[in-house]
A and B are shown apart, each in its own frame.
Chain A
Amino acid sequence: DAKTTQPTSMDCAEGRAANLPCNHSTISGNEYVYWYRQIHSQGPQYIIHGLKNNETNEMASLIITEDRKSSTLILPHATLRDTAVYYCIVRVAPTGANNLFFGTGTRLTVIP
């Protein structure tokens, strides 16, 4: 599975949109982009995933560039509870390895 590159940390003002970038320049055509987040002292939590098209759910939006080499996770109105480490993962489905490679993620701090 392709590896990803994320900024180490980001800050965002409460109530503003948080835009978290991820580079996955070696992504293959059958690899999906998944986002998880991990709030302190908890296990990772699934947020959203996509293949080609932009996706939106109740938590976030995922914007994938046309060449699929990068993506952005958008939290439209960040709250203090969104402070967490955000992981971008690319993975083949359905035949990919059964492990997820998390990397070190982006530590998002939402500032009051």
Chain B
Amino acid sequence: DTGVSQDPRHKITKRGQNVTFRCDPISEHNRLYWYRQTLGQGPEFLTYFQNEAQLEKSRLLSDRFSAERPKGSFSTLEIQRTEQGDSAMYLCASSSNFGQGGLGLYGYTFGSGTRLTVV
């Protein structure tokens, strides 16, 4: 297992288009998280899955955003009708709920992110 994989690494899209990102977590991790990071800021929480169930969503996750994890493995994050303000790095992380309430012994493992640019 090579860690958390995200695809694509970079995406440039025109305003108004829909985009979809994929995250493949560490295979034995049952928890999956999406974060968004804008320039100069730390990552901000978007949503969280335990297995296939989406258990928590941030207020940042507007109705144009939807995330799925259909079989409790990989996850997708879709943004509809993209706006320039959606330009950011979208980070995925996974963890196991064994040990310390979901952070596991080694915290979250993050992917390298998908950088979205809306032009």
Contact = CB atoms under 8 A, between A and B. Distances in A.
Chain A interface SS verdict (over half): loop
Interface residues of B, number: 27
A87 B58 CA distance: 20
Interface string B3-25: 01000000000000000000000
B43 A98 contact: no
B106 A104 contact: no
19 contacts: A32-B103, A43-B4, A43-B110, A43-B111, A43-B113, A44-B43, A45-B110, A49-B100, A93-B103, A94-B100, A94-B102, A97-B56, A98-B31, A98-B48, A99-B45, A99-B48, A101-B42, A102-B42, A102-B43
Contacts, number: 67
B102 A99 contact: no
Contacts of A87: 42
Interface string A58-99: 000000000000000000000000000101000111111111
